[in-house]
Amino acid sequence: MSTPTRNRETNGTQSLVRTLLGDYTWADAGGPIPAGVFTRVLAEFGISDMAARLALERVAGHGFLMRDMLGRAVLYRLSDWALAHHQERFARLLGTDTQPAPWDGQWTLVLASVPEAQRELRAQLRTRLLAARFARFYDAAWLRPGAAGVQTAREVLDSLGAPEPLQVTVLCARHEAGFGGRNPLEAYDLDTVASHYTAFIEQYAPLVKRAREGRVPTSDALVRRTQLMDAWRSAVRNDPLLPTELLPANFPREQARALFIEAYDHLGPPAAEQLRRLVASVRPEIAPHLRHRQSSYAEPRPPSPPCPPKHR
């Protein structure tokens, strides 16, 4: 029987696998890659062989890898869906999706009344609105800045696949001060978001300085770069990406983002070199094909299919 601690460890290893798959050019290897290659790389992060193989199976189950067999050997390759997904992930973390849209002075509001009998659907609506960066304003009212949120709300509602139309009203409005009610900005905990960015800056500014000066050992670069990506993902996750005009003075998002990109790009070459060393110890013919991604990889590409393929 699994325990909460074991589940957290497994989920953490899966996240690590997905980060490594997206940060380097595994698809250029020219064919399926033996599971032993991945387990050797994951050992660099203190992951046991058994835990690594379990994480690979689960990552494959989510469609990020396709599983093949050669005799008794297990091999993996990236699916086309996974390649497109990693591109979109880069856009979210490094590119346009971490840049707020210009402020048009309007708010998109979603007013939803979902009865108790449909509480599961109500929970799904709440989860997906939050994921789409809507904030809960009142009990049944959600908002996000900009008229473009109307299309986002439509996509959220369509994704629910409700058997009957929901009692939902979507509208655009301007906030008029002086009525004694809540300011829409009060729906956001910007102090917490800012604290996450500030903590990121404080933790990784010394690493950036060392990377800039070429003082990060090659043997450490792969682990440091992967930790950097995971920390940045955590910092960005709860940012509502409000337009700059709505943010407090000296909000640290742009400083943190610039620091992340500089560190990510500086650590790329030594991290890739260490990755090739590890892979070469198992399959030398694969190692030369592995290169690092740069922040420029976040340039817009065609969207990925909506659902991952089933692994085999």
List residues bridging with 143 in a β-sheet. 109, 135
Q: Quick one: tokens of 134?
A: 């809507």
In tens digits, the chain (312 residues) has pLDDT values of 444 444 445 568 998 999 999 899 998 988 899 999 999 999 999 999 999 999 999 999 888 899 999 888 899 998 888 888 777 777 777 755 556 778 999 999 999 888 777 778 888 888 888 888 899 998 889 999 999 999 999 988 888 877 777 788 999 999 988 787 789 999 999 999 999 999 999 999 999 999 999 899 999 999 999 999 989 988 888 888 898 899 999 999 999 999 999 999 999 999 999 999 999 999 999 999 999 988 876 554 444 444 454 444
Residue 93 CB contacts under 8 Å (≥ 6 apart), including other chains: 229, 232, 233, 236, 298
What pLDDT is attached to residue 297? 61
Q: Quick one: pLDDT at residue 96? A: 52
Sign of CA dihedral 112, 116, 121, 122: positive
Q: For CATH 3.30.70.240, list the domain ranges present in the chain.
A: 107-173
- CB within 8 Å of 7: residues ≥ 6 apart: none
Q: Which amino acid is at 98?
A: T
pLDDT score at 63: 85
**Distance of alpha carbon 237 from alpha carbon 242, whole angstroms:** 13
Phi/psi-derived region of residue 3, left when phi > 0, alpha when psi is between -120 and 50, beta in every other case? beta
Per the listing, tokens 């990377």 go with 211
Write the DSSP symbol of residue 101.
P
How much is the pTM?
Answer: 0.79
At 266 the pLDDT is 94
The beta strands (E) that lie in the chain are given as: 33-34, 65-70, 73-78, 107-113, 135-138, 141-145, 167-173
**Confidence at residue 308, expressed as pLDDT on a 0 to 100 scale:** 53
How remote is the C-alpha of 139 from its chain's centroid? 28
107-173 carries CATH number 3.90.400.10: no
